[in-house]
Every structure is written in structure tokens, then in C-alpha cells.
């Protein structure tokens, strides 16, 4: 595409979800005329969540899809340009920054806000996909409330799995940890916590073969050294980690060993001035809709301040 055909944008937001849409709302209200590319899953991971009870402002709960629809409408109310597509590549080596979308549109952006999120890792079972949101979850903090007094399983043996199991133990009658090895990979402190919690039982050297249910999950089929067994549970929490959606940015930005984009503490600033990151793509710790939304607000304010300082510097 020739330079004359390149679209000029003040603020490009890559990715939707609570972080991206909140960034858009704030950027639009600051007259940054944001353009947002939603990504492959408009609204992000929350669109697969059947009911959300812990986001402020929804006293009766809300579906993830409805919440994302509401956020999108609010962003559009302030004239955000919402585009359903994917950013395929970026060039942060020159200014303005260059981005290429899957529709062939090339853009030059004065600021870029990355809100591409992180994807939960799953086991890859067909039955797992079938029961997502119907007893299969990758977030105990999000969905554990619905399993109060029930028996559930957590798949995994690392810190994430131990944290999920510990949280669920405070709500559920019984928590089974399904661990494929004969030891936990978690830190010593986390191991001690789960090993000393009375209602957590660890099933060593066990693998999940199938999730069983009718309308919802009611059991899992496990494989052990002595054969298969059926474990009755009403919820299965997959806790084998998350994958930050940062591949196209890693050439340009500092990330941790897993790929989470590193930001300056207390801000959304990345290792390149004018590029900001918010939401789960830079947050391996909390991964909540409300924290993602808060970080989206930060990113838009940081972008606004960056442009203001740049203009003031050019006038000096």
C-alpha cells in the first residue's frame, strides 16, 4: 500500500474485551478518535462466560456476551470506530507506528494500545469444549461461587492449580486436584497450603480422559496406573496456565519469559514510548474483568498524556 493510501490514526486499540473497550471509551472522550480492531473473538474471553456476578454495576448478574455488547455500545456512543478484524503485523521501529490489518488496511498510529488478552490453556478434549460454561471453567475466582457446597475437580499441579484449589476449598464441600505427575510443580508455600487443607484431595499420577455430563457436567473419566475410574463432580476447573496473545509484539516490546508484555509499574507504558498495554496481555496475576477495565482506563489516559507532552515538546 502506498503512503498516500495509509490511514492516519491518533489512537489504535488492538483487541476488545473489558480492557480494550474501556480504553476506547476514555480515549474517545479525550478526542483521540480511537479505532479498535476487535480480534478473532470480539469481546474477548468473557463472551464464553455464561454468567458474571462479580462485576460492579450488575446487581442481578450478567452474561459475558451481554456485558461486552454493553461496553461496545458505550464505546460507539462516543464515536469509537469499532472494526471486526485482526491486526496481522506491527512496526514499532519508526514513528508514527505502522499496523497492517487482515483486510489489507495499513495504518499509521500516533499511539497504540494493546489489549489482546490471554487465552487459557485447555486439555484439548472434545468433551471439554462441549461443556465450557456448563461446568468447565478456567477461572475459579470467576465461577467458583456457583459451586458452593458441591464437589469439583481442578486439573493441574502448578501454582495456578494450587491457587484455584485453595480458593475453591473455601466454597466447595470437596476439591479434587487431578495431577498427572507424582509431585506438584508449585512453590513450596503453595504445596503446603493444599496439602494441609482438609477438603482438598490430590489424585496423583492421574489424567483426565473425558468430561461427562448431560446438560451440565456430572463427572470426569480419569486414567490411572491401575485403570480408568469415574469421579462424580459438578465442576471441572482447568488450571494448566494461560497464553498471552502477544506474538506479533514480542519482536518490539519487552516481555517476560511467558510472553506477558512488561509495563512500567503503576502505568500501562511499555518499553516503547507511545505504545501501551492493558488487560490480561500484561497481567499474569489477577486476570479479572474489573482489573482489565481499570488498566484500559490507565492506558487511554497514558496515551492522552503522551500526545499532549509530544505536542508541547514540539512547540518548544
Q: Hey, which residues are catalytic here?
A: 139, 142-143
Measured from the Cβ of residue 314, the count of other Cβ atoms closer than 10 Å reads 7
- List the grid coordinates of 36: 479498535
How far apart are alpha carbons 151 and 236 in whole angstroms? Answer: 9
Do the beta carbons of residue 296 and residue 19 sit within 8 Å? yes
How far apart are alpha carbons 38 and 18 in whole angstroms? Answer: 11
Residue 271 CB partners (closer than 8 Å, separation 6+): 253, 254, 262
Q: DSSP character for 6? A: P
What's the burial of 154, exposed, middle or buried (CB within 10 Å: 0-12/13-18/19+)? buried
Residue with cell 471486526: 84
Beta bridge partners of 111: 11
Beta bridge partners of 82: 36
Amino acid at each position: 500500500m502506498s503512503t498516500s493510501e495509509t490511514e492516519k490514526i491518533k489512537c489504535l486499540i488492538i483487541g476488545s474485551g473489558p480492557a480494550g473497550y474501556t480504553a476506547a471509551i476514555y480515549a474517545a472522550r479525550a478526542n483521540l478518535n480511537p479505532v479498535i480492531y476487535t480480534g478473532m473473538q470480539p469481546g474477548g474471553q468473557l463472551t464464553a462466560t455464561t454468567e458474571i456476578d462479580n462485576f460492579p454495576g450488575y446487581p442481578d448478574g450478567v452474561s459475558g456476551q451481554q456485558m461486552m455488547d454493553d461496553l461496545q455500545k458505550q464505546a460507539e456512543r462516543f464515536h469509537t470506530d469499532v472494526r471486526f478484524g485482526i491486526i496481522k503485523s506491527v512496526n514499532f521501529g519508526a514513528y508514527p507506528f505502522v499496523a497492517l490489518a487482515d483486510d489489507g488496511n495499513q495504518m499509521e498510529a500516533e499511539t497504540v494500545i494493546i489489549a489482546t488478552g490471554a487465552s487459557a490453556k485447555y486439555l484439548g478434549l472434545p468433551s471439554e469444549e462441549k461443556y465450557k460454561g456448563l461446568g468447565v471453567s478456567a477461572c475459579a475466582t470467576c465461577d467458583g461461587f456457583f459451586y458452593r457446597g458441591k464437589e469439583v475437580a481442578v486439573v493441574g499441579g502448578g501454582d495456578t492449580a494450587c491457587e484455584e484449589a485453595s480458593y475453591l476449598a473455601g466454597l466447595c464441600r470437596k476439591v479434587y486436584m487431578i495431577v498427572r505427575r507424582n509431585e506438584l510443580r508449585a512453590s513450596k508455600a503453595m504445596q503446603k497450603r493444599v496439602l494441609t487443607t482438609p477438603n482438598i484431595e490430590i489424585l496423583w499420577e492421574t489424567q483426565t480422559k473425558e468430561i461427562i455430563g448431560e446438560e451440565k457436567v456430572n463427572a470426569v473419566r480419569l486414567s490411572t496406573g491401575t485403570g480408568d475410574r469415574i469421579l462424580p463432580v459438578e465442576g471441572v476447573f482447568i488450571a494448566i496456565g494461560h497464553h498471552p496473545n502477544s506474538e506479533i509484539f514480542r519482536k518490539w516490546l519487552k516481555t517476560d519469559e511467558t510472553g506477558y508484555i512488561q509495563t512500567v509499574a503503576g502505568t500501562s507504558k511499555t518499553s516503547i514510548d507511545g505504545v501501551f498495554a492493558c488487560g490480561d496481555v500484561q497481567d499474569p496475576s489477577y486476570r479479572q474483568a474489573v482489573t482489565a477495565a481499570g488498566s484500559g482506563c490507565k492506558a487511554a489516559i497514558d496515551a492522552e498524556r503522551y500526545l499532549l507532552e509530544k505536542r508541547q515538546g514540539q512547540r518548544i
